[in-house]
Amino acid sequence: ETGVTQSPTHLIKTRGQQVTLRCSSQSGHNTVSWYQQALGQGPQFIFQYYREEENGRGNFPPRFSGLQFPNYSSELNVNALELDDSALYLCASSLEGGNSYEQYFGPGTRLTVT
């Protein structure tokens, strides 16, 4: 059984650019959630995908969007990057939507916006 993996590990972008982050869920997990973790803070929920449909969204603007693929891997896309978007982006996979209690996190992608 493989764990949750994310790519890339680190990324540097310029303000106004667009970025795509990728996540491969733990084997058998069909639900993925994305979080933004600013330095020294707890993770903040961006959104969740279950069976390729958005299944809940936190307080993030529409320029944060996502996709989940049939193999349950997923992407987080951020348009028009702002300096405040600099953070660690975490994805977490879980088994079965609706009651996604036990979430397993990947190591994260560190995004720096200059």
- Residues forming contacts to other proteins in the complex (CB under 8 A) are 4, 33, 35, 40-45, 48, 55-56, 58, 90, 92, 97-98, 100-108
Tokens of 22: 């990728």
Closer CB to other proteins, residue 93 or residue 113? 93
Kind plus residue range of the DSSP H or E element containing 13: strand 10-13
Closer CB to other proteins, residue 48 or residue 74? 48
Least Cβ distance, residue 109 to other proteins (angstroms): 10
Closer CB to other proteins, residue 43 or residue 66? 43
The sign of the dihedral angle between the CA atoms of 14, 19, 81, 109 is negative
Least Cβ distance, residue 47 to other proteins (angstroms): 9
Least Cβ distance, residue 63 to other proteins (angstroms): 20
Place of tokens 């993030």: 60
List, as one string, the DSSP characters of 44-112.
Answer: EEEEEEETTEEEEE-S--TTEEEEE-TTS-EEEEE-S--GGG-EEEEEEEESSSS---S-EE---EEEE
Closer CB to other proteins, residue 19 or residue 32? 32
Least Cβ distance, residue 19 to other proteins (angstroms): 19
